[in-house]
Structure 1
Amino acid sequence: MDIPATPPIIRRLRNNRAEAKDEPATPRLVAGDIRLIGGLNERLFQLLAAIESSGSINQAARKIGLTYKGAWEMIERANNLSPKILISTATGGRLGGGTRLTPAGKDFLQLFIRIQEEHRNFLEQINDRLMNNRDIVFLLRKLIMKASARNQFFGKVSQVSTGAINVEVTVSLKGGAIIVAAITRESAESLAIKSGADVVALVKVSQIIIVTDFGGYRLSARNQLQGTVSRIQKGEVNAEVVIELKGGNSVVATITNESLQALELTTGKPATAVFKAGAVILGAAS
C-alpha cells in the first residue's frame, strides 16, 4: 500500500518543530513552547498534522508516539473544547481508518502553524537582543550551571602562570577579591584558559577553613578571603557559616559546633576564609 506524499502544511509543521529543537549557532538564552488555553499544546497539532497526512487515527498515533487510546482522548478533548468539530470519522478510509480533519480542523492547524512561526521569530529577536548584552549573557549562563559545590565564584582570569606541571590561574572577582587555582596544564589547555576569559571557580565547603586571628603567623594557603560573618546556621553537630566579602560574594564553610564556640563566631564579626589553590575547580564556558 502506497503512502501518500506529505502535504506542504505537514512539512511546515515538522520543519518548525525541528528548527526549534536544533541547537542554534549561538546559545539560546530564552526558549519556550506554545500552550493554548485548555491544555492544548504542540502534541495535539502534531496529531492533527499526522491525521491530515495519513487519514488514519491509528497510523497518526504511531507516527507521533501516542497510543491509540491516548490519541482518541486527545481528539475527544479537542472536539469538546472547540466550537466546531475538528476531526470527523467515517468507515472506509483510504488507509483503513477514515479519520479526517474538518474544514474547521484544517483552519485550526493552519492558524497554529502561523502562530508557531511567529513564536519562533519572536524568540529569535529576544535572544538576539540578549546576546548583545554581555552582562545578561554572563548572568544567564551562570544560572544554567548546576554543580554540587556550594561555593561558586564567577570572575575573569587576570593572570596565568604556567609551570612544568601545573598552571596557576588568578581569577578576579567583583569587589577586588581574587582566587588562585592550581590546575594541570592539560586542564588549562582543555578549558582554553587565558587572560580575560570568564570562568567559574568551585570550592567545596569542606575545603574551607575559617580563621579569625592569625596570631602573627602567615599561612601557606594561597586563598585568604577576608570578610564579615553574615549568617550562621547551627545544626546538631556542625554549623554552616557564611562570610560576606567586600564585593558582595559570599563564602560558605562548614565547621563543628565546638569550633564555632572556640572561634566565638557571631554575625558581624570579621573572619577569613582560607583554602588551598588545589582545592579550586575551574570551569569555562564552551
Structure 2
Amino acid sequence: MKIKGELGFDAADNFFISAGRINLLKAVAETGSISQAAKHVGLSYKAAWDAIQVMNEVSESPLVLKKTGGAGGGGAELSPYAVRLVASYDLVNNKLSVIMSEIQENIHDLDDLLIALRRLSVKTSVRNQYFGKIKEINLGQVSAEVIIAIKGGDEIAARITKTSVERLGLKVGGEAFAMIKASSVIIADPSVKDKLSVRNFLTGSVEDLDAGEVNAFVTIKLEGGSELTGVITKESLAALNLKKGGKISGAFKASSVIIGVND
C-alpha cells in the first residue's frame, strides 16, 4: 500500500482550497482563460466558474481577476495574492512529498498499521469488544447466526437479522467486531456448561475482581488471550468463591452480541 498526503488551504469554515482548485488556478495562469483552464483540468465551464467565484469570495483577496483587452477581447489572470498562494502551495507540497516518501520507506508494516488505526477508531460504551474474522454465516428464514473467530482460537456466536447481514455486508472471511455488554455476561463455574441454555460459553481464569457495594465486575482472561468482563452480585461473588487465577467461565446469549464493521 502506498501512503499519500494532500495539501490544501482552509480558506473559510465551510470551504477548503484543495489540490484540484490549485490546479485550476495554475491552468488560468497558463491559458489566460477560464474556459480553457476548465478544459485543461477536466471541468465544465460552469463548474470552473463556480469554483473561482467561491474562491474569490472566501479568500482574503480575490484570486482570479478579469483581464481586459487582447485579441480575444479579454480573459482572466491571477492576482498577485493568488500567485503567492500558488507558489506557497508548491513549496509546501514539495516538502510534504519528501516527508511522505520518508514515511513510506521507514514504515514497512504500513498495511498492519492502517488496520490497527481503523480498529482503534471505533468508540463505544460496550465493555467487551473483540475484533476477528467471520468463520461462518448460517442463514435462517428470518435471522442468521454469525460466528466470529477472535484471537487465540476463541469463537463468538451472534444472532442477528438477515437484513443486518445484508446491510453490514457480512461475508465469510470478512472482518467484524463483536461487542457484548458486561451486564449480559453470566459468570459461572465451568462445570455448569451443559446446564445453561446459552450459545456462548467461554472459559479462562479470573484476571481481576472489582467489587462495589452491590455488584462486582469480574474480568476473565480467556484461554485464547482475550478478556471478558461480566457483572455479578456480591452474594454470587461469595458463593462462587472467586479468586484471582481461579478457573471460571463467562456465558452469554447469541442475541446479546452486537456486530459491527468498519466502513
Tell me the residue number matched to 1:223. 200
Please list the CA deviations of residues 12-64 of structure 1 after superposition, one character each: whole Å capped at 9, or x if unmatched: x9224989xxxxxxxxxxxxxxxxxxxxxxxxxx9xx944548xxxxxxxxxx
SS across alignment from 2:153: coil
Tell me the residue number matched to 1:150. 127
**CA distance 1:53–1:154, change in 2 (3 Å):** same
TM-score, structure 2 as length reference: 0.64
Tell me the residue number matched to 2:151. 174
SS across alignment from 1:146: coil
Which of 192, 197, 200 pairs up with 2:177? 200
SS across alignment from 1:214: helix
Tell me the residue number matched to 1:60. none
1:15 aligns with 2:18: yes
Aligned pairs for 1:251-262 within 5 A:
251-262=228-239
The farther-off stretch of 196-205 and 138-147 is: 138-147
Query: What is the identity, as a one-letter code, of the residue corresponding to 2:17?
Result: R
Aligned-partner Cα distance in 1 for 2:117–2:262 = 12
Query: What is the identity, as a one-letter code, of the residue corresponding to 1:262?
Result: A
Aligned-partner Cα distance in 2 for 1:261–1:17 = 67
Which of 232, 245, 262 pairs up with 2:209? 232
Aligned-pair CA distance for 1:134: 4.1
Aligned-pair CA distance for 1:188: 0.3
1:266 aligns with 2:234: no
**CA distance 1:159–1:131, change in 2 (3 Å):** farther
Query: What is the identity, as a one-letter code, of the residue corresponding to 1:187?
Result: S
Query: What is the identity, as a one-letter code, of the residue corresponding to 1:261?
Result: A
Aligned-pair CA distance for 1:258: 1.5
TM-score, structure 1 as length reference: 0.60
Tell me the residue number matched to 2:76. none
Aligned-partner Cα distance in 2 for 1:224–1:191 = 26
Conserved? CA contact 1:131–1:137, under 8 Å: no
**CA distance 1:229–1:194, change in 2 (3 Å):** same
Aligned-pair CA distance for 1:113: 5.7
1:137 aligns with 2:114: yes
Aligned-partner Cα distance in 1 for 2:175–2:156 = 13
Conserved? CA contact 2:188–2:250, under 8 Å: yes
Conserved? CA contact 1:224–1:274, under 8 Å: yes
**CA distance 1:199–1:231, change in 2 (3 Å):** same
Conserved? CA contact 2:193–2:201, under 8 Å: no
Conserved? CA contact 2:190–2:247, under 8 Å: no
Query: What is the identity, as a one-letter code, of the residue corresponding to 2:181?
Result: K
Conserved? CA contact 1:151–1:252, under 8 Å: yes
SS across alignment from 1:118: helix
Aligned-partner Cα distance in 2 for 1:154–1:15 = 35
1:250 aligns with 2:227: yes
Conserved? CA contact 1:228–1:245, under 8 Å: yes
Aligned-partner Cα distance in 1 for 2:216–2:104 = 42
The farther-off stretch of 243-252 and 154-163 is: 243-252
Unaligned runs of 5+ in 2: 1-8, 23-54, 64-79
Aligned-partner Cα distance in 1 for 2:234–2:253 = 23
Unaligned runs of 5+ in 1: 1-8, 20-45, 55-99
SS across alignment from 1:262: helix
SS across alignment from 1:161: strand
Please list the CA deviations of residues 199-255 of structure 1 after superposition, one character each: whole Å capped at 9, or x if unmatched: 000100110001115358432211001111111112222111110112221111121
SS across alignment from 1:247: coil
Identity across matched positions, percent:
32
Q: Which has the higher strand share?
A: 2
